[in-house]
Amino acid sequence: MDTTGHLHLISKFVICAGLLLAISPSYGQDKIVLKGGQIVEGKIQDVTNGNANLLSKNNVFPYPLANVVSVQMATPAELDKVRSGEPAQIVSTLEPLVKKFKGLPCDWVTEAMALVAEAYATEGKDTESTSIYSEMSKLYPGSRYQIRAEAGLAKSALRAGKYDDALAKITPLIAEANKSFSPSAEDGRLYGEAFLVQGQILEKQGKPKEALESYLTVVTVFYQNTATAKTARELADKLRKNNPQVVVD
């Protein structure tokens, strides 16, 4: 077969593959896993009145969040673009998405909520930041997302100078984290933030040795979030420099 023939066959293959993808019911669709194991597919439109509204076969079907176990949904391009953006840009870009999809048990939704909360905190708007973390904690009780929310609330209390309140919020997370010294990547990212906040609280309370132990725990065990681990390492180095007599057994 000559080159022209090869090209003709390749072109036909590409066209057929494209058509198969186009007509495939699961291509580019979201997936909702319900209690009982049922999986439904379509495009999630939004969350209203406690329901995830799924567009499927030209109809919108509401699925109560209470019956949703997990959601597979592509991360919006907007989130990827602003992860390292300025606070005002993060808020203006992500807050509409948060309002539209909050409540979905989906990693990118809770990441967006946390980013907006931290952006508000950076702007000195602690009331708005605390409100988002409080809502996040209520929306995801008993989940890893609640861990992230409680760590955020502890940070808010820390910024407000309420060290005892901050420590009370973070202590249960630390107790849970201490059950494992070989955490999964997801657990490492979540609990690393908790230990970082604990170290900052202890340092503010004048307990440099305990604070150093918390920072080093992030660096050596819960290092999966590189940004958190970097901050913990910097704080540990600074603490050692200012307190050369402090050593960790």
Helix, strand, or coil here: 22?
helix
Residue 183 confidence (pLDDT): 83
- pLDDT, tens digit, 9 for 90 and up, residues 195-229: 999 999 999 999 999 999 999 999 999 999 898 99
Percent of the chain with pLDDT over 70: 89
- What Å distances lie between residue 104 and 15, 37, 115, CA to CA? 36, 17, 16
pLDDT band, residue 179 (cuts 50/70/90): confident
Residue 28 confidence (pLDDT): 65
Phi, psi of 246 (to 5 degrees): -80, 125
Higher pLDDT pick, 185 / 123: 123
Residue 190 confidence (pLDDT): 84
pLDDT band, residue 11 (cuts 50/70/90): very low
- pLDDT, tens digit, 9 for 90 and up, residues 28-85: 699 999 999 999 999 999 999 999 999 999 999 999 999 999 999 999 999 999 988 9
d(Cα 180, Cα 182) in Å, to the nearest integer? Answer: 5
What's the fold here for domain 75-242? 1.25.40
The domain segmentation of the chain, as residue ranges, is 75-242
- String of DSSP letters for 174-232: HHHHTT-SS--HHHHHHHHHHHHHHHHHHHHTT-HHHHHHHHHHHHHTS--SHHHHHHH
